[in-house]
Amino acid sequence: MAVGEARLGELLSVPGLRLATVSAGIKKPGRRDVVLMELAASSHVAGVFTRNAFCAAPVVVAKEHLAASQQRPTYLLVNTGNANAGTGEAGLADARRCAAAVAERAGVAPESVLPFSTGVIGEPLPVQKIIDVLPQALAALQVDGWLDAAHGIMTTDTRPKACSVRFSCNGHSHVLTGIAKGAGMLRPNMATMLAYLATDVAVSPAILQALLAEAVELSFNRITVDGDTSTNDACMLVATGAAGNPSLRSTDDPLYDVLRNALQEICVDLAQGLVRDGEGASKFVTVQVNGGAQEQECLDVAFTIAHSPLVKTALFASDPNWGRLLAAIGRAGLVDLDVTRIAVYLNDVLIAEQGCRASSYTEQQGAAAMAQEDITIRIELQRGPATATVWTTDFSYDYVRINAEYRT
């Protein structure tokens, strides 16, 4: 059960990009589990990938093909139901075979196709099932296929994550649309998260990569459900250039900040959507840490809290067990931490200061704060000017059930 209402607005088509979603029956018969995206010849693509050392075969091949095509691939191929991870040389061959099959049918070079997979780890990829539906996918390509694609990349997700924005600059009107999937094994460290974003802006490859890296760092790298970084994480940004603007090549161009803001907005929206749909989640939790000497120590505190099973189970129980927060802060590894300077808040309720329970705090206040679906845990370190925010969930009975039954 996802936290909060679904906020799926109008999904805008992106000139220069077409999508198709078809069923190969990879894990479940009839499930639409293969997505194909076709990019205009003018497109450039940026990518950020998992840092997990056991990265999946399609990640290896996608990175190879992205470089070989000089960031100008023509097709992105995504399958769900099977991660093609932990599959060795055979998995690499399978990923390349899928890319080659698209290339052969579309009349492009194999390195023009980037493969992506998500699902169960360690099982051979049913390549022939994917190849068999490629003619159907190529025939079904359409500009308004974003919502179907958002459904098609889902695994344990309970609802699609997708959004669009319009923006204008230098006399040109532009669009940016994105979709994402992920509900468990979710602590992207970009780098079972996949995200695909596209805009009609013409952007140089270097600027595109820099924009994506920054946006990912401030969004997808600030979320965690269970602390596990997937073997298959990838976030791709396509710039089709179909808007006809002079190519964005400088950070001094007014379009740079406009596109930057739009991209960060959409990435944060998608990232928070992943958390709200976290496996078994009943709470959406913002962990805000202020007053650090550097941003990294704020992140260390925030992620230590967000990853603590004791904190997460207290959140599920709506139990204001603030001692677990103090314990997490204390083991976050900050050097020369003066605990008497720290203040801890649940929403706007001060619960601890000067190393102990706040004199104004009551258990009733804490219980009322913890009973909310949306909770903010705020930590004031009072060590410097830095700040950082992380988004996470609670741990519920359903999280255990979903992951215990994942392969059955």
Map tokens 């406009």 to a residue: 258
Helix or strand or coil: residue 354?
coil
- Could you write out the DSSP letters of every residue in 247-260? PB--TTSHHHHHHH
The upper half-sphere exposure of residue 240, i.e. CA atoms within 13 Å in the direction of its Cβ, equals 22
B/e letters for 355-383, b = 16+ CB within 10 Å, e = fewer, are eebbeebeeebbeebbeeeebbbbbbbeb
What are the C-alpha distances in Å from 56 to residues 225, 252, 388?
A: 21, 38, 30
Rounded Cα gap, residues 76 and 73, in angstroms:
8
Rounded Cα gap, residues 365 and 362, in angstroms:
5
What are the C-alpha distances in Å from 365 to residues 361, 380, 393?
A: 7, 19, 21
Q: What's the one-letter identity of residue 354?
A: Q
Known active-site residue 50? no
Per annotation, catalytic residue among 50, 155, 192, 229 = 192
CB 173 within 8 A of CB 38: no
Q: List residues with catalytic annotation.
A: 192
